[in-house]
A = this chain, B = another copy of it.
Amino acid sequence: MAQDTVITSKDNPLIRRYRRICEDKRYRNTEHVFAVEGLRLVAEALQEGRCASLYVTEFAAAKYAGELRDGITKPVIISDALGKHLSETEHPQGVFALCYQTVMSFDSKTLRPDGRYLVLHELQDPGNMGMILRTADAFGIDAVLCCKCCDVLSPKVVRATMGAIFRLPVYQAPPPQALSLFLQEKGIRSYAAVLHQDAKPVTALQLGKGCAVWIGNEGNGLSGDAVNVCEEKLIIPMPGHAESLNAAMAAGILMWEMMKGGEANV
C-alpha cells in the first residue's frame, strides 16, 4: 500500500464525513452508505465488493497490507491519532470503511412460499438487533423483515452482526397489516411470539418452511396490531422462574426451531 499524504486533522472533510455517517442516521441514508470498523468486517466488505471508501491508519496500513488489498479500493491514510478519533472501540485496529448500504426496501417478489422469515416489529436495542442478525445468518433464515426498529446500520448493530450484515437479506418492511397480506399471498404462515396464556407452546407446533415468526419490542412485547394480523400465537415454554426471555434470545430459539423443521402446517 503506497504511503500517500497522511490525513492528520479532525476537520478534514473526509474525517468529518466518516464521523457524521457514524452518528447521524438521516445523513447515512441520504448518502446511502454506513460505517464499518475493524479488520475482519472491512475485509469482508472488500470481499463482497461493498466498500465505497477505505480509511487506514499508518500503523494498520503497514500491518494489514495483504488483507486490505482488493485491487480497486485505494485507502485513505490517516494518522494513528485520528484512528482513535474515528473508533468506537477501546483498542482500535485502525481500519475503517464506508460501505454501500445493504438494507433493502421491501419487495414482496422476494418472498418464497417455502422460505423461513423473521419479522422484527419495534425492536429497539442495537445489541439485540446485531445478535439476531448474526444468528439468522448462522441458521440460514431467508430474510429478516424490520418494521419500526432501531437503525440496522448503526455502528453498534453492524459490529454485533460479525459480518452477517453483508450476507443476510434484511428488508425495511411495511406496517404489520400490509406485510401480513404479502406473506399470506405466498402462503407463508405468521406466528406471533407472545407471553399470552392462550398462546400455543412452540413445542406443540411444527415451525419450518413457509413460516414467519414475529418478534416485538424488548419492554412491551409484540403490539396488538401485529399480534392480530398473525394466524397463530406462540409461546416459548419457561418452566423456571423468569417471566420472559431477552428478545434476541427468544428470536434465536425460534429461528433454531424454524431451521430444524421441514414443511410447516402439514
Contact = CB atoms under 8 A, between A and B. Distances in A.
A244 B138 contact: yes
A162 B241 CA distance: 11
Interface residues of A, number: 34
A266 to B, nearest CB: 20
Given A131-B249, A252-B249, A242 B137 contact: yes
Contacts of A134: 242, 245-246, 249
A241 B164 contact: yes
Contacts of A245: 134-135, 138, 252
Contacts of A163: 242
A86 B135 CA distance: 36
A175 interface: no
Interface of A: 127, 131, 134-141, 160, 162-164, 167-168, 203, 236-242, 244-246, 248-249, 252-253, 256, 259-260
Contact of A139 (B131, B139, B203, B239): B239
Closest 8 CB pairs of A and B: A140-B240, A138-B242, A138-B238, A137-B242, A140-B239, A167-B241, A249-B252, A138-B240
Contacts of A248: 131, 249
Nearest to A260: B203
Contacts of A140: 238-241
Contact of A239 (B167, B203, B237, B259): B259
A169 to B, nearest CB: 11
A30 B257 CA distance: 45
A248 B236 CA distance: 17
Contacts of A259: 237, 239
A124 to B, nearest CB: 14
A242 B162 contact: yes
A187 to B, nearest CB: 23
Contacts of A203: 260
A6 B136 CA distance: 51
A162 B245 CA distance: 9
Given A127-B127, A134-B245, A238 B167 contact: no
A21 B131 CA distance: 31
A256 B160 CA distance: 23
Nearest to A132: B249
Contacts of A238: 138-140
Nearest to A142: B240
A167 B242 CA distance: 9
